[in-house]
Amino acid sequence: MFRFNGDYDEMSYPFIYEHSSLCDFEILTDELCTVTGLAVSACEAKDADVQLILSTLQPLIFDLNGSIRGRCAISDATIEQTKAWLWQLRRDQPEKTVTFVLPRGQGVVVNLHYARSLSKKATRALVRIDQEGKEVPEVLPRFCNVLTNLYFEMAQLINHRKGIEQPEYRSSNYGKPL
């Protein structure tokens, strides 16, 4: 069994050797915060509105990170603010008829699609933590789900501004056969 050997130069994170999923969630949300920071840096001037949202969002992701082990820093107000951004981004785009797309794009959009995927993984990590018997504040998976939708809308908006179409994906697995 791995354990800390006392050499702090060989320790990347205090909880790295624990056996629960808490550390996995913390590492995953650290990655989400990093990818969000990359997206902030990749925004072009014409996407200053998205850049401002991402810059405000980034510290909230570290709040999400610490909320599983420490005091919960995500609240209903955090979720409402995130939803307000989501609704604003939706208003800034033409009406959509396509609901499921193949994720494509350039520059910042790549980071936004990656962050969208990581947000889903964070939600699933919270499900595992709950299954392990650790109490998970209800606002955490709610926030992760809103984040997923927010990153998607940011990617859609920037692709729209650049004239990049994301092809619709029609599943061969569900509904009528193609």
**Mean pLDDT throughout 136-150?**
98
Q: Is residue 178 pLDDT above 60, yes or no?
A: no
Q: Is residue 11 in a domain? A: no
* Residue numbers of the domain that contains 112: 20-162
Q: Rounded to an integer, what distance in angstroms lies between the CA atom of residue 110 and that of residue 75?
A: 29
H/E stretch holding 29: helix 22-42
Q: Rounded to an integer, what distance in angstroms lies between the CA atom of residue 60 and that of residue 56?
A: 7
Q: Is residue 150 pLDDT above 80, yes or no?
A: yes
Q: Is residue 13 in a domain? A: no
pTM of the model as a whole: 0.90
Q: Is residue 108 in a domain? A: yes
Provide the number of structural domains found in the chain. Answer: 1
Phi, psi (degrees; rounded to nearest 5) at 33 = -65, -40
Identify the band that residue 173 occupies on the pLDDT scale cut at 50, 70 and 90. Answer: confident
**Cα dihedral sign, 51-55-56-59:** positive
Q: Is residue 103 pLDDT above 70, yes or no?
A: yes
**pLDDT value at position 177?**
59
Phi, psi (degrees; rounded to nearest 5) at 176 = -70, 140
**Using one digit for the tens of pLDDT, what is the confidence trace for 53-101?**
999 999 999 999 999 999 999 999 999 999 999 999 999 887 775 677 7
Q: What is the CATH number of the domain that holds 145?
A: 1.20.1200.10
Percent of the chain with pLDDT over 70: 93
